[in-house]
Amino acid sequence: MPTATPDDVEGVIDTALESGEIQNYLEDAEFEARQAIEEYADELTTIERRQLEKYLAALRIAETKDRRVSEDTVGDSSMTYEASTVKTLRSQVHARDPSNSLAFTTDGDGRHISTTS
């Protein structure tokens, strides 16, 4: 069971998701963290687990369900980009993750991938 709560996640990002949906992301975040970090419950304190789960769930929400995409048009050119929210959340996850693997999504070959639109 995750130590972070939907209220924790809502304190990090503004989302229209219901608490139940956020709880699902928290459960997924805890699962990912347990898979990536050996002795997850022993290596991290309760506060450290809560912080990691909170930011990882927020990151996954921002990357998937509640993406903040902006578009900028200058003359005939336009560019679509993710808001800095994802970059900031990745940084927060990376700072809290002793495995250094959770901040970035990887493909089946273990190569880091990221979304740009």
Given a contact cutoff of 8 angstroms between Cβ atoms, the answer to whether 37 and 43 are in contact is yes
Question: In whole angstroms, how far apart are CA 86 and each of 17, 22, 39, 43, 67?
Answer: 17, 17, 28, 26, 9
Query: Which of 102, 98, 17, 19 is closest to 55 using CA atoms?
Result: 102
11-66, pLDDT tens digit by residue? Answer: 999 888 999 999 999 999 999 999 999 999 999 999 999 999 999 999 999 888 76
Domain segments of the chain as ranges:
6-104
Give tens-digit pLDDT for 66-86.
655 455 556 665 444 455 788
